[in-house]
Structure 1
Amino acid sequence: MLLQVHPDNPNARNIKTIVECLQDGGIIIYPTDTVYGLGCDITQPKAIERIARIKHIDPKKANFSFICYDLSHLSDYAKSVDTPVFRMLKKALPGPYTFILPASRQVPRLLKTKKDTVGIRVPNNNICRTIVKELGNPIMSTTLPIEHYVEEYTDPEIIYEKFGKQVDIVVDGGPGGMAFSTVIDCTGPVPELVREGIGSFEAIS
Structure 2
Amino acid sequence: MKREDDIKKAVDILRKGGVILYPTDTVWGIGCDATNPEAVKRVYEIKQRDDSKALICLVDSEARLQRYVRNVPGVAWQLFECADKPTTVILDGAVNLAENLIAADGSVALRITKEEFSKELCYRFQKAVVSTSVNISGQPAAQNFCDIPQEILDKVDYVCWSRRQEHKPHTPSSIIRLGMGGEVEIIRK
**Aligned-partner SS, 1:163:** helix
Q: Which residue of 1 is the match for residue 14 of structure 2? A: 22
Q: Which residue of 2 is the match for residue 90 of structure 1? A: 81
**Aligned-partner SS, 1:89:** helix
Q: Which residue of 2 is the match for residue 189 of structure 1? A: 182
Q: Could you list the per-position Cα deviations for residues 140-189 of structure 1 after superposition, in whole angstroms to 9, with x for gaps in the alignment?
A: 12122333437xx3342452744221111222324264421111011253
User: Hey, what's the Cα distance between the residues in 2 that align with 1:57 and 1:120?
Assistant: 19
Matched pairs, number? 184
> How has the CA–CA distance of structure 1 residues 78 and 141 changed in structure 2, closer, same or farther, with 3 Å as cutoff?
same
Structure 2 residue runs of 5 or longer lacking an equivalent are none
Identity of aligned residues (%): 26
Please show how residues 82-161 of structure 1 align to structure 2 within 5 Å.
82-92=73-83, 95-146=85-136, 147-149=138-140, 153-159=142-148, 161=150
Q: Does the CA contact (< 8 Å) of 2:33 and 2:130 recur in 1?
A: yes
Q: Does the CA contact (< 8 Å) of 1:64 and 1:119 recur in 2?
A: yes
Deviates most, 153-162 or 164-173: 153-162
Q: Could you list the per-position Cα deviations for residues 81-116 of structure 1 after superposition, in whole angstroms to 9, with x for gaps in the alignment?
A: 3323322223338x4111011133323222221111
User: Hey, what's the Cα distance between the residues in 2 that align with 1:14 and 1:85?
Assistant: 32
Kindly report the root-mean-square deviation, in angstroms, between the aligned alpha carbons of the 2 structures.
2.2
**Aligned-partner SS, 1:12:** helix
Structure 1 residue 78: Cα displacement: 1.3
Q: Is 1:169 paired with 2:158?
A: yes
User: Hey, what's the Cα distance between the residues in 2 that align with 1:157 and 1:85?
Assistant: 34
**Aligned-partner SS, 2:160:** strand
Give 1:182's aligned amino acid.
S
Q: Which residue of 2 is the match for residue 199 of structure 1? A: none
> How has the CA–CA distance of structure 1 residues 178 and 13 changed in structure 2, closer, same or farther, with 3 Å as cutoff?
closer
**Aligned-partner SS, 1:77:** coil
Deviates most, 156-165 or 39-48: 156-165
TM-score by length of 2: 0.85
Structure 1 residue runs of 5 or longer lacking an equivalent are 6-10, 197-205
